[in-house]
Amino acid sequence: MTSRQSLGAVRSSFAPWADPTATPLVRFEAVTKRFGAETAVKSVSLDIYEREFFALLGPSGCGKTTLMRMLAGFETPDEGRVTLEGQDLAGLPPHQRPLHMMFQSYALFPHLSVERNIAFGLQRQGLAKAEISDRVAEMLALVRLEGLARRKPDQLSGGQRQRVALARALAPRPKVLLLDEPLGALDRKLREETQFELMALQQRLGMTFLVVTHDQEEAMVMADRIAVMRAGEIVQTGPPPEVYEAPNCRYVADFIGEVNLFEGQVETADGRLVRLSSPVCPQGLEAAEDDPLPKSAAAWFAVRPEKMVLHPTPPPPGPNLMQGKVADIGYLGDWTTYVVEVAGGQTVRAARANAARVVENPVDWGDTVWLTFARDAAVVLSR
Amino acid sequence: MRAGGLAFVAALLLAACSQDGGRKPARASDTLHIYNWSDYIDPALLADFTKRTGVKVVYDTFDSNEVLETKVLQGDTGYDLVVPSNNNVARYIQAGAIEPLDRARLAGLDKLDATIMAHMAPFDPGAKYTVPYMWGTVGIGYNVDAVAKRLPGVKIDSWAIAFDPKSLAKLKDCGVYFLDASEDMFATALNFLGKDPNSKSAADYQAATDLLLAARPYVRKFHSSEYVDALANGDICLAIGYSGDVLQAKARADEAKNGVKIAYAIPKEGGQIWFDVFVTPKGAPNPDAAYKFLNFMLEPATIARASNFTKYANANAAATPLLDAEVRDNPNIYPPPEIAGRLFVTTAKDQALLRDVNRRWTQVLTGQ
Amino acid sequence: MKRRSLAAIAPYLWLLAFFLFPFLLVAKLSLSDQALAMPPYAPRLDLAAGVAGIASFLKALDLETYLRLASDRLYLVSYLSSLKFAAVGTVILLLIGYPMAYGMSRFPPAGRQALLMAVILPFWTSFLIRIYAWVAILKPQGLLNAALQGLGLPALSILNTETAVYLGLVYAYLPFMVLPLYAVLERQDPSLMEAAADLGASPLQAFWRVTFPISMPGVAAGALLCFIPMVGEFVIPDLLGGPGTLTLGRTLWTEFFANRDWPAASAVAIVMLVTLVAPLVFLQRRASTLAAAS
């Protein structure tokens, strides 16, 4: 690969994790947490760097919130340790940790006005009255709630409450801001807006954000790096393009975005090309892959729907070609997704950009179509 | 007359149920409703009455004259017979709350003891409204040994023991109880002071109030029933109380064999004699049954059995020979003539006087 | 439409039938005079005499009873004494009830149900029997002194003292304090405490700055539920207090039963109602207008 090449279409210049001399701000070192017989977090190690926007992504119950709560001090690790700026946090109660959290429920104090909610953490720091009111005003301006300072939380909309919670957690200038499903309670449009607001805010304040989410899109959009969790363990950590374009297992491939998985047996794997035999493709499956794989082992090709090519007429025969019937069509405006049933009953998704407004001979339900993908469009997975 | 200090219990319940007229519905003519003091009749007597006459008895109980009077004055009690104490009866008559009795329908009135009946004359002249049930006295109950130790050689035969601060001071450490009953206590105090126990003079009542206030610092408790246990257990050495209650305390102490010797005295200045009497409230649903029951209770054999049970005296001269010896020969139940001559009865007070007496009593109790 | 209007007036009908009507009856009685009659007061309304009957009835009503209440310090003293019992009782109840409710609300849910049952369970026994049970415990030869004796400690004389009254009040009204407090505390989002801790509040600060202020409605409800009936409480002071224990309930009892003075008893009740309930209604009004204004 040359320097011009990169995974995905984004070039990121901020990458302290790639710098071996950088010291992480937060370190989880082989942290394990059990609740009774259940192990919520299994020996997780993780580094988060200053000014990083880091996302813990996974389905509910995967341990991501427990991991965050151990950093905040609400849970104590059974094994391993959590450090902040190299200092072990063990034994430090939550109210003495220089981290603040934005709760999923927002946890606004219902008896306090917006300004007094925001001032709560500042008062605990023992700041002077004038300084507190300055800081509250600054925070209100930051989250654009200037006119609502005296309102009580129950007189605010969901989006306004979310911003109060954010301002309250930001006001005492935490070393790390923890966000637990920060956008979960917002409707879709507001969520998209707020994603970009959060990113802008993080950039402007130069702060470190750790967000916990189950929404892969949210994580992809906002985070510098994503750690995908499954059953208490981190499966893969990396910047969004890497996690999307180079998932290291079927779980990550499937969890992040849509994916077609083709299972087969390794026929040849010579360090440049992997060839699988598969019932869906009479001519076999081929993909570019540097790592050798043992012959006859089970392997999977993961191909994103947008990398599948749909042919209304049969293309010339070759590898990675399959024939099927259109079972479903999802028209999304910018894209159309075709669900095609191929040999063996497997359904394959193919997405096409709607580049033109008018299409001659459009593909219809029940039509016989042909699907192909390029050799470098597939990711070869052995687990 | 054994005025229950805990009378409010019944009061509350009655106040609640008497409002709804729940007792009004027509009832079978063969049922008799009686409202009497608690633990005040031999249940076997009621069974015998029903066996003899076929009249079923519904028997309810109360704990204080105040509760009974409030209920009767409100009307529609649903009872055929109720059992107030003598000094309330005049008010019942005046308010028109009870029915006069048809003496022709009562047999055996002639057997009633004339001296006792003379005591009844002030509140029910000619016995037009009442038939006596039991009677007793107010006197001094005391722990013989405990008092002898503190007042050596003193004979317990004067109210001075209970009212004179000098003697009370010596008894204070072992405990003195007074009844929490305004009319009884004022009558007793007036009598001790040599005044008319039924006085209407404010000056007399002021003197009685002063006497009671002077005694108050030495009185451990004002209570109308607790002294029974307290005496029996040897917790206190002296109580102004009702004859039957003190005898009950004595019986309990004897039974417990705890070495406590209880005695009862009617002091030489005299003491109050009180009566509980049967009356028929206005609008009694079944007066015929009431007459049947009164006639039953006028039989010497029946009333003798009743006294044997309650350990109180009755007013039926013909019944006296039929009593158990322990009741008949007990001078505290049937006082000998020289003591009986010193007994007095209290009569009803008018509303203003009653209010004044109760107000003074509150002053004695609370200092307010 | 018609149905809705009926539903709208239903609470007022209830109020009319079960509060206003009895209140007016008692008020009328308080303006009457005591009489030796059945029932023992006068005048009585003679509807057969028509308008003239009503007129003479109204003419006979007067404020004499109230004047008498004003002329004797006893009523004021017993009222103040009742207020003192109720106020001190409410404070003790809060001090005991709050930690109890707080502890219950922090219990695992399964245990909470059991604790709640334990709080409610005494209601299955008659109130009177429960207070009598205290008599049995506190009397000189009662269970308490038997236990103390067994431990070789000196006996206590608690029955018929103010201490016994407070014991009884606290015992009897504790559920009325605990339940509303528990209701608000249990509903409180536990993440609020975490948020407070997260923002630097120590557990004690978090309690006083967050938990306690948010539970104020429960505190107010519990205090009112206990204070108002305790002012008028009769049974507990009568059973557990001494003869010197002065309360409004006992003064009322004396008027009604010992003096047979129904008008005076009614007047005492009316004064209590007006002086106690009116300020509370006013306070509540003020609180709701304040809430609406902000």
Q: Which domains does chain A have, with CATH numbers?
A: 16-253 (3.40.50.300), 258-381 (2.40.50.100)
Q: Which residues of C touch B235 (CB under 8 A)?
A: 140-141
Q: Which residues of A touch C292 (CB under 8 A)?
A: none
Q: Evaluate whether B8-135+274-335 and B137-272+348-366 have a shared fold.
A: yes
Interface predicted TM-score (ipTM): 0.80
Using the Cβ of C213 and the Cβ atoms of chain A, whether some distance falls under 8 Å is answered with yes
Per-residue confidence (pLDDT) for residue B248, from 0 to 100: 85
Task: Report DSSP letters for chain C, one per residue.
Answer: -HHHHHHHHHHHHHHIIIIIHHHHHHHHHHTSEE-SSSSSEE----GGGHHHHHHHHHHH--SHHHHHHHH-HHHHHHHHHHHHHHHHHHHHHHHHHHHHHHHHHTS-HHHHHHHHHHHHGGGGS-HHHHHHHHHHHHSTTSHHHHHHHHTTPPP---TTSHHHHHHHHHHHHHHHHHHHHHHHHHHS-HHHHHHHHHTT--HHHHIIIIIHHHTHHHHHHHHHHHHHHHHT--HHHHHHS-TT---HHHHHHIIIIIS--HHHHHHHHHHHHHHHHHHHHHHHHHHHHHHHH-
Q: Residues C17-59: pLDDT tens digits?
A: 888 898 888 888 888 888 878 788 887 776 777 787 788 788 8
> What token pair was written down for A153?
């939380």
CB of A352 closer than 8 Å to CB of A340: no
Cα of B222 to nearest chain C Cα, Å: 6
H or E stretch covering A213: strand A208-213
- B137 by Cβ neighbours in 10 Å (0-12 / 13-18 / 19+) ranks as buried
Please judge whether C140 and B230 are an interchain contact, meaning their C-beta atoms are less than 8 angstroms apart: yes
Tell me the C-alpha distance between C140 and B228, whole Å. Answer: 13
Cα of C198 to nearest chain A Cα, Å: 5
Measured in whole angstroms, how far is the alpha carbon of residue B6 from the centre of its chain?
Answer: 15
Tell me the C-alpha distance between C132 and C39, whole Å. Answer: 32
Tell me the C-alpha distance between C22 and C6, whole Å. Answer: 23
Tell me the C-alpha distance between B64 and B179, whole Å. Answer: 13
Q: Which residues contact A143 (CB under 8 A, 6 or more apart)?
A: A163, A164, A166, A167
Interface of C with A in 179-198 (CB under 8 A): 189, 191-192, 194-198
- Long-range contact list for B38-43, CB < 8 A, 24+ apart? B38/B4, B38/B62, B38/B63, B39/B310, B40/B83, B40/B134, B40/B276, B40/B310, B41/B306, B41/B309, B41/B310, B42/B305, B42/B306, B42/B308, B42/B309, B42/B310
Ranges of each domain in chain C: 63-240+247-293
Cα of C293 to nearest chain A Cα, Å: 12
Chains C and A touch (3+ CB pairs under 8 A): yes
Using the Cβ of C202 and the Cβ atoms of chain A, whether some distance falls under 8 Å is answered with yes
Q: Residues A117-176: pLDDT tens digits?
A: 999 999 999 999 999 999 999 999 988 898 999 999 999 998 899 999 999 999 999 999
Measured in whole angstroms, how far is the alpha carbon of residue C224 from the centre of its chain?
Answer: 7
User: If you average pLDDT over residues C128-138, what whole number do you get?
Assistant: 91
Instruction: Flag the least confident range among A1-5, C114-118, C162-166.
Output: A1-5
Residue to substitute from C29, C36, C74, C156, interface B, most B β-carbons within 10 A: C36
Measured in whole angstroms, how far is the alpha carbon of residue B189 from the centre of its chain?
Answer: 17
DSSP at B171:
H
User: If you average pLDDT over residues B212-218, what whole number do you get?
Assistant: 94
Q: Which residues of C touch B74 (CB under 8 A)?
A: 38-39
Pairing of strands B262-265, B56-62: unpaired
Measured in whole angstroms, how far is the alpha carbon of residue C232 from the centre of its chain?
Answer: 6
Cβ-Cβ pairs closer than 8 A, B with C, add up to 89
Q: Which residues of C touch B11 (CB under 8 A)?
A: 253, 257
Q: Please tell me the class of the B137-272+348-366 domain.
A: alpha beta
CB of C78 closer than 8 Å to CB of C250: yes
Tell me the C-alpha distance between B198 and B191, whole Å. Answer: 9
Helix, strand, or coil (residue B222):
strand
Using the Cβ of B299 and the Cβ atoms of chain C, whether some distance falls under 8 Å is answered with no
The amino acid at B337: P
Which residue is listed with tokens 């050596």?
B152
Please judge whether B9 and C128 are an interchain contact, meaning their C-beta atoms are less than 8 angstroms apart: yes
Q: Which residues of C touch A110 (CB under 8 A)?
A: 214
Helix, strand, or coil (residue A333):
coil
Other beta carbons within 10 Å of B334:
16
Tell me the C-alpha distance between A257 and A303, whole Å. Answer: 11
Cα of C212 to nearest chain A Cα, Å: 10
Cα of B73 to nearest chain C Cα, Å: 5
Interface of B with C in 162-201 (CB under 8 A): 180, 182
Backbone angles phi, psi at C291, to 5 degrees: -65, -40
Residue to substitute from C192, C198, C216, interface A, most A β-carbons within 10 A: C198
Pairing of strands B280-281, B98-99: antiparallel
Is pLDDT above 60 for C2?
no
DSSP at B200:
-
Nearest to B328 by CA among B359, B292, B300: B300
Chains C and B touch (3+ CB pairs under 8 A): yes
Please judge whether C194 and A100 are an interchain contact, meaning their C-beta atoms are less than 8 angstroms apart: no
Is pLDDT above 60 for C1?
no
User: Contact partners of C by the rule of 3+ C-beta pairs under 8 A?
Assistant: A, B
Closest residue in chain C to residue A174, using alpha carbons only: C199
Please judge whether C199 and A107 are an interchain contact, meaning their C-beta atoms are less than 8 angstroms apart: no
CATH 3.30.70.1150 fits B8-135+274-335, yes or no: no
Per-residue confidence (pLDDT) for residue C157, from 0 to 100: 83
Tell me the C-alpha distance between A230 and A41, whole Å. Answer: 10
Higher pLDDT, B28 or A129: A129
Cα of A175 to nearest chain C Cα, Å: 13
What does each C-alpha distance from C9 to B12, C5, C22 come to in angstroms?
32, 6, 19
Per-residue confidence (pLDDT) for residue A8, from 0 to 100: 63
Please judge whether C198 and A94 are an interchain contact, meaning their C-beta atoms are less than 8 angstroms apart: yes
Please judge whether C195 and A109 are an interchain contact, meaning their C-beta atoms are less than 8 angstroms apart: yes
Which residue is listed with tokens 């009774």?
A36
Per-residue confidence (pLDDT) for residue A377, from 0 to 100: 86
Nearest to A79 by CA among A121, A135, A40: A40
Using the Cβ of A124 and the Cβ atoms of chain C, whether some distance falls under 8 Å is answered with yes
User: If you average pLDDT over residues B120-127, what whole number do you get?
Assistant: 88
Q: Which residues of C touch B95 (CB under 8 A)?
A: 36-38, 40
C253: nearest CB among B8, B74, B282: B8
Residue to substitute from C187, C199, C205, interface A, most A β-carbons within 10 A: C199
Is pLDDT above 60 for C267?
yes
User: Contact partners of A by the rule of 3+ C-beta pairs under 8 A?
Assistant: C
Backbone angles phi, psi at C221, to 5 degrees: -65, -45
Residue to substitute from C21, C33, C38, C68, interface B, most B β-carbons within 10 A: C38
User: Contact partners of B by the rule of 3+ C-beta pairs under 8 A?
Assistant: C
DSSP at B344:
B
Other beta carbons within 10 Å of A204:
9
Please judge whether C209 and A120 are an interchain contact, meaning their C-beta atoms are less than 8 angstroms apart: yes
Helix, strand, or coil (residue B19):
coil
Using the Cβ of A72 and the Cβ atoms of chain C, whether some distance falls under 8 Å is answered with yes
Per-residue confidence (pLDDT) for residue B55, from 0 to 100: 94
Ranges of each domain in chain B: 8-135+274-335, 137-272+348-366
Per-residue confidence (pLDDT) for residue C288, from 0 to 100: 67
Chains A and B touch (3+ CB pairs under 8 A): no
Is pLDDT above 50 for C81?
yes
Which alpha helices (H) appear in chain A, and where do they start and end? 64-72, 114-124, 129-142, 158-170, 188-205, 216-222, 240-245, 250-255
Using the Cβ of C242 and the Cβ atoms of chain B, whether some distance falls under 8 Å is answered with yes
Q: Which residues contact B11 (CB under 8 A, 6 or more apart)?
A: B64, B66, B67, B70, C253, C257
H or E stretch covering B138: strand B131-143
Please judge whether C39 and B235 are an interchain contact, meaning their C-beta atoms are less than 8 angstroms apart: no
Other beta carbons within 10 Å of B259:
8
Please judge whether C34 and B351 are an interchain contact, meaning their C-beta atoms are less than 8 angstroms apart: yes
CB of A299 closer than 8 Å to CB of A381: yes
CATH 1.10.3720.10 fits C63-240+247-293, yes or no: yes
**Low-confidence stretches of chain A (pLDDT beneath 50):** 1-3
Per-residue confidence (pLDDT) for residue B4, from 0 to 100: 40
C40: nearest CB among B9, B73, B221: B73
Using the Cβ of B367 and the Cβ atoms of chain C, whether some distance falls under 8 Å is answered with yes
Q: Please work out, in degrees rounded to the nearest 5, the angle formed at the alpha carbon of residue A346 by the alpha carbons of A343 and A348.
A: 105
Using the Cβ of B354 and the Cβ atoms of chain C, whether some distance falls under 8 Å is answered with yes
Pairing of strands B31-37, B81-82: parallel
CB of A258 closer than 8 Å to CB of A335: no
Confidence of residue B2 (pLDDT cuts 50, 70, 90): very low
